[in-house]
Amino acid sequence: MSVGAARLLLFAVAALGACSRDDSAERRARLGANPTFAQVMQVADAQAGARRFGQCAACHSIAEGGADRNGPNLHGVFGNTIAQNSARFGYTDALRAQRGVWDERRLDAWLADPRRAVPGTSMAFAGVRDPIARADLIAYLKTQR
């Protein structure tokens, strides 16, 4: 490998590393103590949310027309009526009884603690405690329409 090619490779690796780093600590510092939900959503990063979606991908697909897994496909979930995103998925009665749409606040509550947000849900996920991580996931879901 030539010196020029090696430098280019090192530059590419460094650039990819910079693109994929988690800057949530920096965003948290900028927000200060006790930020409002709106302030947290203002610093949400859809690319970080795409990386964080990996933990969701164990049970949910996100591709348009993708299959349901242990959970429904989440493509187009943002702004959609609750428990209506997949005609094929067997939503619980508790989730089907919910009214409204999946908006930022509703998704935030769900992602924080699904069983508290909708008692009786079968989703066994404990939730995402970090509000910035939830905001990132919401920002990502908003891009998947």
Read off the pLDDT of residues 42-79 as tens digits, 9 standing for 90 and up.
Answer: 999 999 999 999 999 999 999 999 999 999 999 999 99
All residue ranges of the chain with pLDDT < 50 are: 1-20
Q: Name the burial class of residue 110, with classes exposed (0-12), middle (13-18) and buried (19+) by CB atoms within 10 angstroms of its CB.
A: buried
Instruction: Please state the domain extents for the chain.
Output: 24-143
Distance (Å) of CA 63 to CA 68, 104, 115, 131: 10, 20, 25, 25
Angle ∠(84,82,65) on CA atoms, nearest 5: 40
Distance (Å) of CA 136 to CA 45, 79, 105, 121, 140: 5, 16, 13, 23, 6
pLDDT at 141: 98
Indicate the fold that domain 24-143 takes in CATH: Cytochrome Bc1 Complex; Chain D, domain 2 (1.10.760)
**Residue among 95, 84, 96 nearest 121 (CA):** 95
Q: Are the C-beta atoms of 65 and 74 separated by less than 8 Å?
A: no
